[in-house]
Amino acid sequence: MTDIHDLTAVQLVERYASGELSPVEATRAVLHRIEQIQPEVNAFTRVDAEGALRQAEESAERWRRGTPVGLVDGVPVSVKDILLQRGAPTLRGSRTVRPEGSAWDEDAPSVARLREHGAVFVGKTTTPEFGWKGVTDSPVHGVTGNPYDPQRTAGGSSGGSAAAVALGAGPLSLGTDGGGSVRIPAAFCGIFALKPTYGRVPLYPASAFGTLAHVGPMARDAADAALLMDVISGPDWRDWSQLGPAEGGFREALTSGGGGVDGLRIAYSPALGGAAVVDPEVAASVRRAVDLLAELGAVVEEIDPGFEDPVEAFHTLWFSGAARVVQPLGQEDWELLDPGLREICAQGASYSALDYLAAVDVRMALGHAMGRFHSAYDLLVTPALPITAFEAGVEVPKGSEHPRWTGWTPFTYPFNLTQQPAASVPCGLSGAGLPIGVQLVGARHADALVLRAAHALFEAGLADGVRPPAA
């Protein structure tokens, strides 16, 4: 018998509708699970048990009356502590953000849509300071551990959300992704995450990292992520750069045209033209995922998209954004920042406007190249990461040639520059029992296709057996 906290959001809603389960029972199970996992992995910055149970009781009454208010009425969710949530301080992992400094009376657009659809908010999840790096530790909340081995990193910057979902502390979580921040921890923690096309999920306040930053769903599988996308992609006037309404629903897209990947043109790039040295176990697992796509009817070709590593352009944009985040701080607050964040902010502040515009030129050329590439291929498949999870509490693995997190994430940040939809799908475990992820990248606006292909992989059993030992 499946434990309640192991049920997906889709399964919970089905059981609510049948009367087999109550939102109160589900919420209590998730809160109990949080109590169990929090001391070991440190996934949450704040847990609101009282508020969650109150929301669950209200949802239970609606289900009893047969009047649920939305698609996720009564489903326990968590929110990365970067996104505003009414009634809860959003500290962003920083000692420079004071809880008493705001009324905390506004929801971010994605949070507002969840509230409108009856979600139960169980807590806020951990993030590195201002979401600046690909692992999750902060001066305020400390280190977040990996569900498979708490001495290793959960990845970041949405590491708390990934750890929570992997361990049954709520089936859905909202993350943000400016350079891989939902896909990196998804790959390290063995869950699914989608970075949607930029603007598909409205964002407010606007990120200082500009149009690199996306809001995305983190879930156990693609079906749950599609459900969440149907909720959070709703319009919000506060985001002037949001896209227009998506055609059809994301849940419907999972099975549209018969579903699956039969006939899709898929490009497989094992290392983006040598941009990364990929661990042999990672390469083998990703290869098995690609072989499965071919077995399911996709036309697979091993080919690189043919661009040079855009890391320097990404650094210019990312470090400049970080410098802008901390620009209002005085010297006393500057000293409170994560030392690594101080370093990249100092570098970001040294760039000129011409440096920034040169990086924009690289970005536009990359976007043009990928647009041309996707005129021939429906999807690009790569490893999500070239390695498995390493020691927690450090930015880079021991012996790394690169001082910054971008040195071990070459497959993620290029597609923030291009604003394309990209997902990480769990595709196996290493010999040490650590998760491995395969990345599916679509053309801009092809979010539904990415979800459909990911769903086909889940349905074919690619992720079977990828569950934490403590789950």
Distances in Å between the Cα of 347 and the Cα atoms of 326, 351, 414 are: 13, 7, 20
Percentage of the chain exceeding pLDDT 70:
99
- Per-residue pLDDT reduced to its tens digit, 180-208: 999 999 999 999 999 999 999 999 999 98
pLDDT of residue 40: 97
Judged against a pLDDT cut of 80, whether residue 470 lies above it is answered with no
In the block, which residue shows the tokens 């001066």? 139
Q: What is the CA radius of gyration of the chain?
A: 21
Give the whole-angstrom CA distance, residue 212 versus residue 198. 8
The pLDDT of residue 203 is 98
Strand partners, 137: 143
Catalytic residue among 161, 181, 233, 269: 181
Catalytic residue among 22, 80, 133, 233: 80
Say what the pLDDT of residue 257 is.
Answer: 81
CA atoms within 13 A on the CB side of 75: 33
Q: Is the pLDDT of residue 79 over 60?
A: yes
**What residues contact 219, with CB distance under 8 A and at least 6 apart?**
8, 9, 165, 171, 172, 173, 191, 192, 193, 225, 228
Tell whether the model's pLDDT for residue 356 goes beyond 80.
yes
pLDDT in tens, 254-284: 998 888 999 999 999 999 998 789 999 999 9
What's the mean pLDDT when you consider all of the chain? 97
pTM (whole model) above 0.95: yes
Q: Is 195 a catalytic residue?
A: no
157 in catalytic set = yes
**Structural domains present in the chain:** 4-316+342-459 (3.90.1300.10)
The pLDDT value given to residue 1: 56
Are 215 and 203 in contact by the 8 Å Cβ rule? The answer is yes
Give the other-Cβ count within 10 Å of 61's Cβ. Answer: 12
Q: Which of the following is catalytic: 22, 110, 157, 320? A: 157
Q: Is 80 a catalytic residue?
A: yes
The predicted pLDDT at position 197 comes to 98
Q: Are 224 and 171 in contact (CB under 8 A)?
A: yes
For residue 256, what pLDDT is reported? 86
CB 180 within 8 A of CB 188: no
Give the pLDDT confidence of 299-317 residue by residue, as tens digits. 999 999 999 999 999 999 9
Residue owning tokens 């990461």: 385
Cα–Cα distance measured from residue 177 to residue 216, given in angstroms and rounded to the nearest whole number: 7
Tell me the C-alpha to C-alpha distance, in Å, between residue 446 and each of 44, 332, 453: 32, 46, 11
